[in-house]
Amino acid sequence: MAFKPVLLWTDLLLFVLVSAALLMVFHVRRHPPLREAWRKVGQRAAGMASMTVLLAFLAVGLLDSIHFRPVLRPVEGQTRTEAVYSSEVLSVLDALLAPLRLQTEKTYSAPFALRLYQRETVETADGGQARDYPRLVYGGRHLAEGEAVAPDLSSRVGAILWRAGLPILGVMCCITLIVGRRGQGSFPQAALDVLGGRATLAWRAALVSGALIALVVAAAYELAPLYHVLGTDKVGQDVLYLSLKSVRTALIIGTITTLVMLPFAVALGIAAGYLGGLVDDAIQYLYTVLNAIPGVLLIAAAVLMMQVVIDTHPHWFETAAQRSDARLLALCFILGITSWTGLCRLLRGETLKLRELEYVQAARAFGASTPTILRRHILPNVMHIVLIALVMDFSGLVLAEAVLSYVGIGVDPTTISFGTMINMARAELAREPMVWWSLASAFAFMFVLVLAANLFADVVRDAFDPRR
């Protein structure tokens, strides 16, 4: 084989979560109340737009979660009886972004620049030496000496629009066919309904968001192999490549940490609110003690202890990627164990109210067991809080990773993340001229991801809140 598949623990957990989400879709389709609630989410323009953006980020994260080790080519004249694989673990996203990954410069360069950002000693045509900005090796190499960037960019606008318009037109036709078939209408009428915002779901908002995403992707596809669109960092790596690689880390931190936190919060919160008494006192004491400990100190101590375990057992890991993945997984578990208290308190308060309502009192009077009441009457009526808290906690955890990596207790330094990008860029903000693009790129990607998650959480809250 030309490659050897590699399955990291975080890859496995991420695909398990995606499979669980797909199973939930089938579950929702079979239950009219849930289907109606999610239809309300789809009827809101903010819900469809934010869902489209989140799906785009998810696609990038999944492509970066399919890992493999490429086979090494034999040296000329050497014969092999079996394949030898590289120790470097790559992903499908790495293969798709090979030009960005391999075309590294010497050091910093600004977005769309043709020369390095700092002066160096270069040889002149007459054999002397001078201080000048050297020409980049890859950025703008298709341009002749003295040729400007602006005319080249303007000449490629048509190709960008064509590459972006074709997939959007295809998606538009598919949505129109679906809307026309469900509404028993003609294709032109269905197209007018979609574009006019008169369809059952807010397809127009999804199309507008998809068009913007397609335009950005088309521009990157057209220009990234020719220029460093977002510049390069201190060691010459393309910042656009680093930003896209950071998406997977953010998704892993937000989703797997939530998976770890959820059982603690739901089980303990409902038990404390419904059972009361000694159980309630013990659970309150537990999360009060955890909240009394400074979160950063608790996380730092746990991360440093886990790092000692990883350093003293190097034989556990075959590659550096598996070692980095172990620290990332450990960070997810540590964040999950230390961040369940807020949701637990919310669920306890809601359960205290629900247990006094008439239908719960009637179930208890008819002799229903405590597990049955918790499963059929309490848990379904607190799920809207769980859904809202999960999406909101996702945003907070993405930001928490950036802060933890900034102070040096986050992911492994070899793991690309928004936090490591900010950490590497902080020392360059005080220099003159300032290197701003690494920080700006990490901020822009994090801002779009967190904003989409927050908007989606707001729409889900409105749709699932029983009081609305």
Condensed to tens digits (0 to 9), the pLDDT of residues 393-428 reads 887 888 788 778 777 777 887 888 888 888 887 777
- Please choose, from the candidates 196, 208, 203, the residue with its C-alpha nearest in 3D space to the C-alpha of residue 177: 203
Q: How many angstroms separate the CA atoms of 450 and 53, rounded?
A: 10
CA angle 455, 461, 466 (to 5 degrees): 165
Q: Alpha-carbon distance 375 to 309, whole Å?
A: 40
Residue 261 in contact with residue 332, Cβ under 8 Å? no
Average pLDDT score over residue span 10-39: 86
> What separation in angstroms does the CA of 120 have from each of 109, 124, 139, 144?
13, 12, 17, 21
Report percent pLDDT > 90 for the chain: 13
Is residue 73 helix, strand or coil? coil
Do 179 and 203 contact (CB within 8 A), yes or no?
A: yes
User: Between vectors from CA 290 to CA 247 and to CA 401, what angle results, nearest 5°?
Assistant: 15
Model confidence over 306-326: pLDDT tens digits?
Answer: 878 887 887 888 888 888 888
pLDDT band at 77, cuts 50/70/90? Answer: low
Question: For 316, which DSSP code?
Answer: G
> 282-313: per-residue pLDDT in tens?
998 988 888 888 777 788 888 888 878 887 88
- pLDDT at position 466 is 62
Q: What is the pLDDT of residues 199-240, one digit of tens each?
A: 778 888 888 898 899 999 999 999 998 999 999 988 889 999
Which residue, 146, 321, 134, 159, is CA-closest to 225? 159
Segments making up each domain of the chain, as ranges: 241-464
Please say whether the beta carbons of 246 and 416 come within 8 A.
Answer: yes
The band of 243, judged by pLDDT with boundaries at 50, 70 and 90, is: very high
The pLDDT of residue 85: 79
pTM of the model: 0.88
Could you give the CA distance from residue 386 to residue 265 in angstroms, rounded to a whole number? 9
Out of 23-32, 180-189, 239-248, 393-402, give the one with best mean pLDDT.
Answer: 239-248
Most confident of 89-98, 169-178, 408-417, 430-439: 89-98
pLDDT confidence band for 64 (50 / 70 / 90)? very high
CATH topology for 241-464? MetI-like fold (1.10.3720)
Residue 62 pLDDT class (50, 70, 90 cuts):
very high
* Phi, psi torsion values for 31, nearest 5 degrees: -125, 110
| Residue 376 DSSP one-character state | I
